[in-house]
Amino acid sequence: MCKIKKALILDDESAIRFVLHKLIERVGPCEIYEAATLKEAFSLCEIHVFDLVFLDHHIPDGVGWEVADKIRKNPEKYGKPNIIGMSGSIIYDPESKFFETFIEKPFSIKDLMPTISKALSTPSDKAN
């Protein structure tokens, strides 16, 4: 039996979270969690091991990419999810290897679907 995938969306814009939530649902069965702040995202990471994580850069209580840093530093606890970074205000340096994928905002829904499908179909190496 296949394990249901889990996804986390961290973005302070509710419209972005809504769109990403709907796109993830199109791909297949997935438990989807949303956070508007770093505090919420960190709390969710303490409870769940995610397969897919969307992280916005600019969040009211800090930099959303701190979540990726926390996950990457402790894969035994947080697993090894596919992490997608997002920003409309900075240019991401691909040399840093912080994410599997980086998406500039505004993004095209048509272009994002293959990224989500690939991220959820790729087996992630889980601790749990």
Q: What is the pLDDT of residues 70-115, one digit of tens each?
A: 999 999 999 999 999 999 888 777 777 778 888 989 988 888 999 9
| Average pLDDT, rounded, for the chain | 89
The confidence score (pLDDT) of residue 8 equals: 98
The answer to the question of residue 69 being in a domain is: yes
The answer to the question of residue 113 being in a domain is: no
The answer to the question of residue 125 being in a domain is: no
Q: Is the dihedral of CA 16, 88, 106, 96 positive or negative?
A: negative
The answer to the question of residue 123 being in a domain is: no
Residue 60, domain extent: 5-107
CATH number at residue 27: 3.40.50.2300
The answer to the question of residue 50 being in a domain is: yes
| Residue 98 or residue 123, greater confidence | 98
Tokens coding 47? 């409870």
The answer to the question of residue 122 being in a domain is: no
The answer to the question of residue 62 being in a domain is: yes
The confidence score (pLDDT) of residue 127 equals: 42
Judged against a pLDDT cut of 70, whether residue 40 lies above it is answered with yes
Task: Give 65's DSSP letter.
Answer: T
Judged against a pLDDT cut of 60, whether residue 124 lies above it is answered with no
The answer to the question of residue 29 being in a domain is: yes
CB-count exposure of residue 127 (10 Å: 0-12, 13-18, 19+):
exposed
Q: Quick one: what percent of the chain has pLDDT higher than 70?
A: 93
In 3D space, the residue among 30, 36, 19, 28 whose CA is nearest the CA of residue 112 turns out to be 19
Judged against a pLDDT cut of 70, whether residue 123 lies above it is answered with no
Judged against a pLDDT cut of 90, whether residue 121 lies above it is answered with no
Q: What is the pLDDT of residues 48-59, one digit of tens each?
A: 999 999 999 999
Query: Structural domain tally of the chain?
Result: 1
